[in-house]
Copies of this chain bind each other. A is one copy, B any other.
Amino acid sequence: CSTASGLGPFKTMEEILKRTVAPLPTYEMRDKSPPPPESSSVEFMHFYKGLEKEEKMDFLDKLSQDFGVDHKGVSELAGKVAETQLRDLATVLQVEDRLRYSLTPRYRQLLSHISRVEGGVKFLVDLRADVIEIISSKASESPHIRDLNGTLKGLLSEWFSVGLLRLERITWQSPCEILQKISQYEAVHPVRNWTDIKRRVGPYRRCYAFTHASMPGEPLVVLHVALTEDISNNIQAIVREFATLDSEEDVNKINSAVFYSISSTQAGLQGVELGNYLIKRVVRKLQGEFPHLSQFSSLSPIPGFCAWLQGLLGPQRKEGRGAGLLTEQEWREVEEATGARDTAADALRRLLAGGEWVRSERLARALEPALMRLCAWYLYGEKRRGYALNPVANFHLQNGATMWRLNWQADTSPRGVAGSCGVMVNYRYFLQETSANSAAYLQTKAVAASDQILGLVSQFQKNSKL
């Protein structure tokens, strides 16, 4: 145990780091230094895995701070750059190359060597997950940790470059190990049993994953596709439909590919584009298999919609009825339907929190126009730093999809009702336009949306005082 010694873990940490993080060779010797012995990498990995969560943070703090860039060296070389501006290009390039080298954190080498050890790449993916957690939980505000994160992301981006990934189709003949993992990772529409998972890899379904040579048996990102006649507007029809489980696919009934679930499995690969590429590769694969397949769309959940709406209806909010979330007529219907004794906003809030309204045809009909309008606005109008607040929307818009259709009562499972009042959305991939859409969204934040969505948004804007 790392804390067994009387001197405490910190002493040990420093010793371990000194021993395992070799100094950066000089620029001249950079190609002439043998790699450190593999045992250094193994020792580092072993030690780190044995640490408690708190200790890990300390360790990463130390690593990033004391074994990072040599600022003095950088500063000196930066000075030289100015001096050489008027010299010949060869000299300029030389100094630039030295400067570039001097900007390498000392720990980068170690990370690189760890990737060569068995299990090393997976270790670094998990290490970065720790780093990301430290940053996002604000446990540490050290700028060095952010540098470490950047270095790790850069390395992982190269190692998980799409050219090195393998597209695998998962079927009922795939190893059980893979299928169990895919069942576990499927958080969007949970897999309950063998039959559920068999359905998702059976006829009229496809399941694809990216895997990587250095992490065998580990799907990195998983995409579930339903092959349908029309673009689906209901998720139960996809994941709870067993009628065709033993049938043969009829190619004439396949006009649409509906991506109904996409899951990234590695927290440590955040920011390393995989999902986007997986969708593209799958589109191409499916076009090869079904040349006449013409419609590509997601059927996506809208996590956060209910929570956002509840927030607006909350007691501490002044808006309530006054904010124009519902029309007067709609508020009245809520009151009638609920026999509300308190304010209509409270009544609505409780109604939505309960979820039973779904089973009342009258209530459902009454709420539909308002919830659809609000949901459209939530997806289209609510932003974070200018981009869509809803993470699923943000993902598909970055990929160049169009916000295409809101579907009422598309997910009537308790989970679906609680999360998004049962509403789901299709992000449609018009293949000719995704490239331009993606660029427009990323650069100008413009959101491509269908007339249905835009119509609902404009209805919202007419009423709302938000």
Q: Which residues of A contact B (CB under 8 A)?
A: 29, 31-35, 37, 69, 71, 74-75, 77-79, 81-82, 85, 89-90, 92-94, 96-97, 99-100, 103, 112, 115-118, 120-121, 143-144, 146-147, 150, 155, 158-159, 161-166, 172-177, 179-180, 183, 194, 197-198, 212-214, 217, 271, 273, 277, 398, 400, 435, 438-439, 442-443
Which of A96, A97, A173: most chain B Cβ within 10 A? A96
Contact: A180 with B158, CB < 8 Å? Answer: no
Contact: A163 with B115, CB < 8 Å? Answer: yes
Q: Name the residue on B nearest A81 (C-beta).
A: B78
Contact: A176 with B166, CB < 8 Å? Answer: no
A190 CB to closest chain B CB (Å) equals 14
Q: Which residues of B contact A75 (CB under 8 A)?
A: 81-82, 85
Q: Which residues of B contact A99 (CB under 8 A)?
A: 74, 78, 99, 103
A360 CB to closest chain B CB (Å) equals 37
Q: Which residues of B contact A443 (CB under 8 A)?
A: 29, 32-33
- In angstroms, Cα B165 to Cα A117, docked, is 11
Contact: A143 with B90, CB < 8 Å? Answer: yes
Q: List 12 A-B contacts (CB under 8 A).
A: A32-B443, A37-B435, A89-B144, A100-B103, A103-B103, A155-B158, A173-B217, A174-B176, A176-B176, A176-B198, A212-B213, A213-B213
The 10 residue pairs across chains A and B that have the minimum distance between CB atoms: A78-B81, A158-B158, A78-B78, A90-B143, A116-B162, A173-B175, A34-B438, A100-B103, A115-B163, A176-B179
Say what secondary structure dominates the interface of chain A. Answer: helix
Contact: B89 with A81, CB < 8 Å? Answer: no
A78 CB to closest chain B CB (Å) equals 4
Known A158-B158, A172-B176; judge A96-B74 contact (CB<8 A).
Answer: yes
Contact of A161 among B116, B173, B271 (CB under 8 A): B116
Q: Which residues of B contact A90 (CB under 8 A)?
A: 143
Contact: A172 with B172, CB < 8 Å? Answer: no
Contact: A161 with B159, CB < 8 Å? Answer: yes
A107 CB to closest chain B CB (Å) equals 14
Contact: A116 with B82, CB < 8 Å? Answer: no
